[in-house]
């Protein structure tokens, strides 16, 4: 296949000015977003500053026209098939080449391949137009029924397949833009070619890995199959494996055994061995087409129960290559609220995941399906991917047109991503089962949702039967619903709750075996606040429009759905320190401290119950725009204290303290490595070098929490204490450390800040 990029061609963008109604034409960036083009052209100020996102409202009703003129190095042969590939169009578009309409698109989230008649292309002077209609205007044509629900600002997106967060979310601004947000290419497909190739691990056995290769290829109608064969080559390091077989039909499967397989493991459990795969299509021994890809040999299983029993027992654990893996992960949101802008952020963000010691990320259902480079990077880094389908906090439409749109979307996405070793799980949606409880629709079970109970599993049975599927997160089965169960009765939960004091009953008495969302607010650094807030807003406040906007509340509504999030921080600070500081510098410090201690406490509470508990995917690493939020790194890559606390608590072998019982604080160790470890440890109290507890420890491979000893708690209510835990593994020189705050709120902010200064807990 020959491919020519059109992304680098000079593009222009035409639209009508919403005030003057006069035609405008500005340069366009592809990939990019019309809002970014407006800013680059000086037509719009930085929308991430102050409450400038409100300026976008008039532009939501506009149509846009991208145009470029291009030449091609060579024209397609008579036997080749030409097509234009748009990897991402936001959202409703008509594509016109040299005055001829090639077709329309209606889904932002998937690739679109439009056939180009062979005689339409010219060597030079080709004019390509992409006319994008307003998504807001288009939504007026849809009927929304009482049984279809969404969050307050997202009803326009119920019938349209575009990222839900673009209409406004508590973590994203409202940017209902448009754009060619992923690359555009012209491709020539040869008449003899592979059309489908999928290699996956069926089973791991003593004599090797049982592999399954599914394939389809195209031939001209006048040709027969005689003389055609395939040669599969798999190379990993010094290992080279080949498998050749005849092709007697245009579709088929090939089952074979790969001897002595080099296994792919998630980060911290082993190496990320990847095979470079080549499948040659041969005619009488001559190669006529080649498919290349990279994959890993591994088996991943989600072992779960639908519900917890009367004693709170249940399962929700990931098993990789036969071994249970404790999940230390975080939720992934789009890297930028303006899709197509700043694509270099993807790798930078994944570097944070690796540095934090995460072995999983969850691609949240209010965003997008990330591109192949993202998944290839996760393959290399050993970051397991829990992939939501793009449905979030909604009761989606159930009409046949929407179901068919979801079927097409899921098929395209699954075919594109299924070969990646990192892809661990398909999940039907984010919190849509929950919405039937929250939204007053609980007269019927969540299983009335045909999208997640019918369409998506049917697609997966056809396209990716080797992977597990979770209908919703959290998932409410018919059995749970029929028994009158609640969200507290399932093993996998989203633990948001009141977001009060981090040691309140909600956070200490929940029954979750696994949590895939859990977070706590924390202010960005002062330097970041000064980048997105005007000087007049740099104060401690509850009623500032700029603070409210970056909460993220759209439409300058001071009492909107997300306005509570500023007051929430005040309550969290008060619960921890008894009062709200008067200066912004102190407010920032107090907010960051409560976030850091809360996130650390949440994570360690799960690790200290291993193997009863099996993981936490906390919310979240980094913001997609400048915001006051739950993220532990702000949009400008400035790390909050919670980043360093979580990094310490996510060490593969980690010492932690349990909450005091009967006047004793137990020190425990957990080992997520798949080999046994031993070492020495020492626990001291800040300000006193004398060891409170010390000695050697030995932990078995993949060991759960093991008690090492106890420390008398003393009068920690009136006098909080801070313990420093240090340990060194045998054979390693660099010591590891963690800390533990023993006390009961309210704490002294001045005392805590002094502790941080003495310990340098925020350092790399």
User: How distant, in Å, are the alpha carbons of 248, 682, 762 from that of 244?
Assistant: 13, 59, 56
Verify that 81 and 198 share a domain, yes or no: no
Residue 510 lies in a domain: yes
CA distance 572 to 578: 10
Average pLDDT of the residues of the chain: 96
Verify that 37 and 105 share a domain, yes or no: yes
> Which of 34, 155, 170, 47 has its CA nearest to residue 90?
34
Region 50-60 average pLDDT? 97
CA distance 483 to 423: 33
- Which of 269, 295, 321 delimits the end of a domain? 295
Region 475-487 average pLDDT? 91
Verify that 483 and 504 share a domain, yes or no: yes
Region 133-156 average pLDDT? 95
What is the reported pLDDT for 757? Answer: 86
User: What confidence category does residue 17 fall into, taking pLDDT thresholds of 50, 70 and 90?
Assistant: very high
Side-chain half-sphere CA neighbours of 286 within 13 A: 4
Residue 24 lies in a domain: yes
b/e burial code for range 739-756 (CB count within 10 A of at least 16 → b): bbbbbebebebeebeebb
Verify that 184 and 36 share a domain, yes or no: yes
User: What confidence category does residue 295 fall into, taking pLDDT thresholds of 50, 70 and 90?
Assistant: very high
User: What confidence category does residue 156 fall into, taking pLDDT thresholds of 50, 70 and 90?
Assistant: very high
User: What confidence category does residue 762 fall into, taking pLDDT thresholds of 50, 70 and 90?
Assistant: low
Question: Residue 223 pLDDT more than 60?
Answer: yes
Verify that 233 and 184 share a domain, yes or no: no
Range of the domain at 601: 300-520+595-624+631-648
Verify that 171 and 229 share a domain, yes or no: no
Question: Residue 453 pLDDT more than 80?
Answer: yes
pLDDT in tens, 609-623: 999 999 999 999 999
Instruction: For residue 86, give the CATH number of its domain.
Output: 2.60.120.260
Residue 528 lies in a domain: no
pLDDT in tens, 331-382: 999 999 999 999 999 999 999 999 999 999 999 999 999 999 999 999 999 9
Question: Residue 290 pLDDT more than 90?
Answer: yes
In DSSP terms, 737 is beta-bridged to: 726
Instruction: For residue 394, give the CATH number of its domain.
Output: 3.20.20.80
Residue 561 lies in a domain: no
The domain tally of the chain equals: 4
What is the reported pLDDT for 69? Answer: 98
Determine contact, residues 514/609, Cβ cutoff 8 Å.
no
What is the reported pLDDT for 604? Answer: 98
Strand order in the sheet with 81-86: 2-5, 184-189, 81-86, 112-116
b/e burial code for range 153-187 (CB count within 10 A of at least 16 → b): bbbbbbbbbbbbbbbbbbbbbbbbbbbbbbbbebb
Region 571-588 average pLDDT? 97
Three-state DSSP state, 71: coil
Verify that 324 and 253 share a domain, yes or no: no
Region 57-67 average pLDDT? 98
- Which of 295, 326, 347 delimits the end of a domain? 295
What is the reported pLDDT for 443? Answer: 87
Place of tokens 């035409």: 14
Place of tokens 């029993």: 309
Residue 566 lies in a domain: no
Verify that 324 and 280 share a domain, yes or no: no
b/e burial code for range 480-505 (CB count within 10 A of at least 16 → b): bbeeebebebbbbbbbeeebbbbbee
What is the reported pLDDT for 680? Answer: 98
User: How distant, in Å, are the alpha carbons of 280, 338, 340, 740, 751 from that of 173?
Assistant: 47, 9, 16, 36, 37
- Which of 149, 173, 189 delimits the end of a domain? 189
Residue 497 lies in a domain: yes
CA distance 599 to 649: 10
pLDDT in tens, 225-283: 999 999 999 999 999 999 999 999 999 999 999 999 999 999 999 999 999 999 999 99
Percent of the chain with pLDDT strictly greater than 70? 99
Percent of the chain with pLDDT strictly greater than 90? 93
What is the reported pLDDT for 306? Answer: 96
CA distance 228 to 225: 6
Verify that 206 and 172 share a domain, yes or no: no
Verify that 506 and 469 share a domain, yes or no: yes
Residue 487 lies in a domain: yes
User: How distant, in Å, are the alpha carbons of 220, 243, 244, 250, 282 from that of 192?
Assistant: 7, 21, 18, 11, 10
Residue 200 lies in a domain: yes
> Which of 50, 173, 171, 172 has its CA nearest to residue 532?
50
What is the reported pLDDT for 437? Answer: 77
In DSSP terms, 282 is beta-bridged to: 229, 287
**Residue 546 φ then ψ, to 5°:** -75, -45
**Residue 348 φ then ψ, to 5°:** -60, -40
What is the reported pLDDT for 79? Answer: 87
CA distance 438 to 600: 29
Neighbours of 75 (CB within 10 A): 14
What is the reported pLDDT for 266? Answer: 98
What is the reported pLDDT for 62? Answer: 98
User: What confidence category does residue 703 fall into, taking pLDDT thresholds of 50, 70 and 90?
Assistant: very high
Verify that 469 and 608 share a domain, yes or no: yes
In the 8-state DSSP scheme, what is residue 52? G
CA distance 285 to 262: 30
What is the reported pLDDT for 78? Answer: 86
Verify that 242 and 305 share a domain, yes or no: no
Q: How large is the angle between the packed helices 584-607 and 749-759, nearest 10 degrees? A: 70
Helix (H) or strand (E) holding 689: strand 688-699
Instruction: For residue 288, give the CATH number of its domain.
Output: 2.60.40.10
Determine contact, residues 117/135, Cβ cutoff 8 Å.
no
């Amino acid at each position: 296949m020959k491919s020519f990029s059109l992304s680098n061609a000079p593009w222009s963008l035409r639209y009508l000015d919403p005030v003057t109604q006069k035609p405008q034409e500005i340069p366009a960036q592809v990939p990019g977003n019309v809002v970014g083009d407006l800013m680059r052209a000086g037509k719009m100020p930085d929308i991430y500053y102050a409450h400038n996102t409100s300026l976008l409202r008039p532009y939501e009703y506009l149509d846009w026209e991208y145009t470029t003129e291009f030449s091609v190095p060579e024209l397609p042969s008579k036997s080749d098939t030409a097509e234009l590939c748009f990897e991402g169009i936001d959202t409703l578009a008509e594509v016109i080449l040299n005055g001829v309409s090639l077709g329309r698109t209606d889904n932002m989230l998937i690739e679109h391949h439009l056939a180009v008649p062979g005689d339409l292309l010219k060597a030079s002077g080709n004019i390509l137009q992409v006319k994008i209609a307003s998504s807001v205007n288009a939504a007026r044509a849809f009927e929304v029924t009482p049984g279809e629900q969404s969050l307050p600002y997202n009803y326009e997106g119920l019938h349209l397949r575009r990222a839900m967060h673009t209409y406004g979310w508590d973590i994203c601004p409202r940017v209902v833009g448009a754009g060619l947000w992923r690359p555009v290419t012209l491709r020539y497909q040869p008449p003899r070619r592979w059309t489908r190739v999928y290699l996956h691990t069926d089973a791991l056995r003593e004599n090797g890995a049982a592999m399954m290769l599914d394939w389809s290829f195209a031939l001209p109608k006048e040709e027969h199959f005689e003389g055609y064969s395939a040669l599969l080559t798999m190379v990993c390091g010094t290992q080279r494996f080949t498998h050749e077989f005849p092709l007697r039909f245009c579709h088929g499967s090939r089952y074979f055994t790969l001897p002595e397989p080099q296994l792919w493991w998630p980060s911290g459990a082993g190496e990320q061995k990847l095979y470079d795969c080549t499948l040659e299509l041969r005619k009488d021994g001559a190669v006529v087409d080649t498919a290349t890809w990279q994959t890993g040999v591994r088996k991943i299983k989600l072992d779960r129960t639908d519900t917890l029993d009367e004693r709170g027992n249940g399962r929700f654990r990931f098993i990789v290559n036969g071994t249970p893996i404790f999940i230390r992960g975080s939720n992934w949101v789009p890297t930028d609220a303006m899709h197509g802008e700043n694509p270099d952020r993807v790798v930078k963000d994944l570097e944070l995941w690796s540095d934090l010691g995460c072995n999983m990320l969850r691609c949240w259902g209010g965003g997008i399906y990330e591109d192949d480079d993202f998944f290839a990077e996760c393959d290399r880094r050993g970051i397991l991917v829990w992939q939501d389908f793009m449905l979030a906090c909604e009761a989606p439409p159930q009409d046949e047109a929407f179901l068919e749109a979801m079927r097409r979307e899921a098929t395209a996405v699954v075919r594109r991503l299924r070969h990646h070793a990192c892809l661990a799980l398909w999940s039907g949606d984010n919190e849509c089962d929950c919405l039937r409880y929250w939204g007053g629709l609980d007269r019927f079970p969540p299983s009335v949702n045909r999208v997640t109970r019918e369409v998506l599993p049917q697609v997966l049975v056809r396209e990716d039967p080797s992977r597990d599927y979770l209908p919703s997160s959290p998932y409410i089965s018919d059995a749970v619903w029929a028994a009158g169960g609640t969200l507290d009765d399932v093993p996998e939960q989203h633990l948001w709750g009141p977001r009060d004091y981090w040691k309140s009953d909600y956070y200490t008495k929940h029954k979750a075996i696994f949590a895939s969302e859990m977070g706590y607010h924390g202010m960005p650094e002062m330097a970041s606040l000064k980048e997105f807030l005007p000087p007049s807003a740099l104060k401690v406040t509850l009623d500032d429009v700029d603070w409210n906007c970056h909460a993220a509340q759209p439409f300058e509504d001071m009492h909107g759905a997300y306005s509570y999030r500023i007051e929430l921080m005040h309550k969290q600070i008060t619960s921890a320190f008894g009062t709200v500081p008067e200066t912004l510098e102190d407010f920032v410090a107090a907010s960051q401290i409560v976030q850091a201690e809360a996130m650390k406490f949440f994570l360690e509470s799960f690790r200290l119950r291993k193997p009863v508990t099996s993981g936490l995917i906390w919310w979240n690493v980094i913001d997609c725009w400048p915001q006051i939020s739950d993220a532990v790194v702000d949009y400008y890559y400035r790390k909050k204290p919670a980043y360093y606390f979580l990094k310490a608590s996510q060490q593969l072998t980690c010492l932690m303290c349990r909450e005091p019982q009967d006047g004793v604080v137990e020190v425990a160790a957990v080992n997520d490595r798949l080999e046994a470890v031993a070492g020495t440890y020492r626990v001291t109290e800040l300000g006193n070098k004398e060891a409170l507890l010390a000695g050697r420890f030995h932990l078995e491979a993949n060991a759960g929490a093991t008690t090492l000893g106890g420390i008398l708690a003393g009068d920690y209510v009136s006098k909080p204490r801070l313990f420093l835990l240090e340990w060194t593994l045998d054979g390693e020189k660099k010591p590891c450390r963690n800390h533990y705050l023993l006390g009961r709120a309210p704490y002294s902010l001045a005392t805590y800040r002094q502790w941080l200064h003495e310990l340098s807990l925020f350092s790399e």
